[in-house]
Amino acid sequence: MKDLIIIGGGPGGYVAAIRARQLGMDVMLVERDRVGGTCLNRGCIPTKAYYRNAEVLRDIKRLQDYNIKGPIADLEFDLEGAQQRKNEIVANLVGGVDKLLQANRVEVVWGQAHILSSSQVEVEGNIYNTRRILIAAGSKVLEPPIPGIGEEGVVTSAELLEMTSVPSRLLIIGGGVIGMEFAGIFQQFGSQVTVVEAGSSILGQLDQELVKRIRVFIRRQGITVYSKTRVERIERQDDHLLVTAVNEKEEKQLEVDCVLLAVGRQPCTDDINLDKLGIELENDGIKVDENYCTSADGIYAIGDVIGGQMLAHVASEEGKVAVERMCGMNSAVSYHAVPSCIFTFPEIASVGLSQEEAAASGLDYRIGKFQFAANGKAMTLGETDGLVKVIADEKDCIVGVHIMGPHASDLILEGTLMVREKMSIE
Ligand code: FAD
């Protein structure tokens, strides 16, 4: 009899497994693919590896700005090589997680897990008994019901990461974080990128002032964005795809070579037997209480599978907290201070309330701003696009920090501490 069986070895599941071992539990982790989950294998890490390629390409195109002269015409971008580099980074990290699990003596069982009851899990025909189960099954690509999404050349983010040639014309359905990161990366790789977003704005969850600015920078990079526009259908025509998109004013016919589906992700809840176990859903994710316990006693869930902020560090933190609470500890996730980073050009990083959220929650808020254009370090880098925006409540307590500009994803750490520790402006 195990103390805990964890289903899914992503950043939620593997961190939970290690924490459970540290707290003295007898733990088994079940994974059907590779440890590291979406984040390491086809999410955060591969995209950030490609982002670095894109950054270098962008710098090369601007060598003259730094007075480095000479022909760059002989240079060419080798996507297969970049892919190999990415795969090596991923393999290295996956190997690291494997070793961590071994070092912490977590038993890993490979295969698809099926929950039979709150004390039994079946994997590849074997039945394992346990005191508790933690579901960390993650999420999958949401496939919109658009006629033609099955056509060759219509891909998910995982498939785009495996392509060996750069599509000349890439159309991205969805202007959220994943869509806009790929837009920036593939535009630098040489694709002509068009983003079609059904909502009124790209990156809709961000502070709107930052959205307005990033739209300008994105346009300047040559990326076309159609917002309030819906893709109606996709058709294959000889060597290209014809995408029909409509908005209030017109119908557009867009000829492209590749279409990326990036309308969002949905929790992986369909193959876990939820109905039979009496596990309820809420907003498509598994419903949990403050202990991450589902509506079935003894079955817990964390990470993307419970919806909410689908981020790797949130999954890890929830995994750690869920296990600690199983052991009677009073830990909690600081949901008010979760940093999120967007790897566009320039980077964007945010923590806490946006100005719109501060207004909606009735705060008598104050705002402080500083432009990178007036910052010495940014000038020396030649990266002056963007700003830092700090939002404080009526007691001068910092409730939101938003950074768009060079190294935003590194700088946000300070903002996260300020918001998490409820620091004053002083
Ligand atoms: P997952 O990482 O999805 O892991 C779930 C695991 O469970 C998988 O390995 C799966 O094989 C396994 N599994 C599922 N069902 C079963 C079963 N029945 N039996 C056995 N095994 C099972 N987040 C960030 O914080 N920063 C980023 O920069 C970032 N970039 C991203 C870019 C892309 C393109 C994508 C798609 C996602 C990105 N994310 C990013 C989100 C991040 O990847 C997820 O939030 C994170 O991986 C969720 O962790 P998880 O452990 O909940 O689930």
The answer to whether residues 27 and 3 touch, using CB atoms and an 8 Å cutoff, is yes
Measure the CA–CA gap between 256 and 270, rounded to whole angstroms.
33
Angle separating helix axes 44-61 and 79-103, nearest 10 degrees? 140
Per-residue DSSP letter, 372? G
pLDDT tens, position by position, 180-218: 999 999 999 999 999 999 999 999 999 999 999 999 999
Residue-averaged pLDDT of the chain: 96
Which residue, by CA, sits nearest to atom 45 of ligand 1?
Answer: 311
pLDDT tens, position by position, 292-312: 999 999 999 999 999 999 999
- pLDDT confidence bin for 110, thresholds 50/70/90: very high
**98-109: average pLDDT:** 97
- Measured from the Cα of 311, ligand 1's closest atom is 45
Ligand 1 centre and the CA of 47: distance in Å? 13
The answer to whether residues 302 and 310 touch, using CB atoms and an 8 Å cutoff, is no
The answer to whether residues 305 and 177 touch, using CB atoms and an 8 Å cutoff, is no
Which residue, by CA, sits nearest to atom 35 of ligand 1?
Answer: 43
Ligand 1 pocket list (CB less than 6 A): 7-13, 30-33, 37-39, 43-44, 47, 112-113, 136-139, 157, 178, 268, 271, 303-305, 310-313, 315
Q: What percent of the chain has pLDDT over 90?
A: 95
| The two structure tokens encoding residue 384 | 């002056």
Measure the CA–CA gap between 4 and 58, rounded to whole angstroms.
48
Measure the CA–CA gap between 229 and 235, rounded to whole angstroms.
18
**229-237: average pLDDT:** 97
pLDDT at 250: 93
pLDDT at 231: 98
pLDDT at 73: 84
Measure the CA–CA gap between 194 and 226, rounded to whole angstroms.
8
**245-271: average pLDDT:** 94
pLDDT at 269: 86
What are the b/e assignments for 169-206, b being 16+ CB within 10 Å? bbbbbbbbbbbbbbbbbbbbbebbbbbbbbeebbbeeb
pLDDT at 272: 80
**170-182: average pLDDT:** 98
- Measured from the Cα of 304, ligand 1's closest atom is 52
- Measured from the Cα of 111, ligand 1's closest atom is 20
pLDDT tens, position by position, 336-363: 999 999 999 999 999 999 999 999 999 9
Alpha helix (H) ranges present in 74-173? 79-103, 157-160
Q: Is the pLDDT of residue 271 over 80?
A: no
Ligand 1 centre and the CA of 156: distance in Å? 14
Which residue, by CA, sits nearest to atom 18 of ligand 1?
Answer: 113
Is residue 214 packed enough to be buried (19+ CB in 10 Å), middle (13-18) or exposed (0-12)?
buried
Q: Is the pLDDT of residue 321 over 90?
A: yes
Measure the CA–CA gap between 420 and 398, rounded to whole angstroms.
9
Beta-bridge partner residues of 128: 121
Among candidates 290, 103, 87, 260, which has minimal Cα distance to 178? 260
pLDDT tens, position by position, 372-426: 999 999 999 999 999 999 999 999 999 999 999 999 999 999 999 999 999 999 9
Phi, psi of 185 (to 5 degrees): -65, -50
Which residue, by CA, sits nearest to atom 53 of ligand 1?
Answer: 138
pLDDT at 283: 85
Pocket test for ligand 1, best of 28, 39, 112 (most atoms within 8 A of CB): 39
What length is written for the chain? 426
- pLDDT confidence bin for 240, thresholds 50/70/90: very high
pLDDT at 100: 97
Taking only Cα atoms into account, the Rg of the chain, rounded to an integer number of angstroms, comes to 23
Ligand 1 centre and the CA of 312: distance in Å? 7
Ligand 1 centre and the CA of 368: distance in Å? 36
- Measured from the Cα of 34, ligand 1's closest atom is 9
Contacts of 242 (CB under 8 A, 6+ apart): 234, 235, 236, 253, 254, 255
pLDDT tens, position by position, 39-77: 999 999 999 999 999 999 999 999 999 999 988 888 999
pLDDT at 270: 79
DSSP-derived 3-state class of residue 39: helix
Angle separating helix axes 11-22 and 312-326, nearest 10 degrees? 30
Pocket test for ligand 1, best of 38, 160, 177, 178 (most atoms within 8 A of CB): 38
Which residue, by CA, sits nearest to atom 15 of ligand 1?
Answer: 137
pLDDT tens, position by position, 11-25: 999 999 999 999 999
Ligand 1 centre and the CA of 37: distance in Å? 5
Q: Is the pLDDT of residue 145 over 90?
A: yes
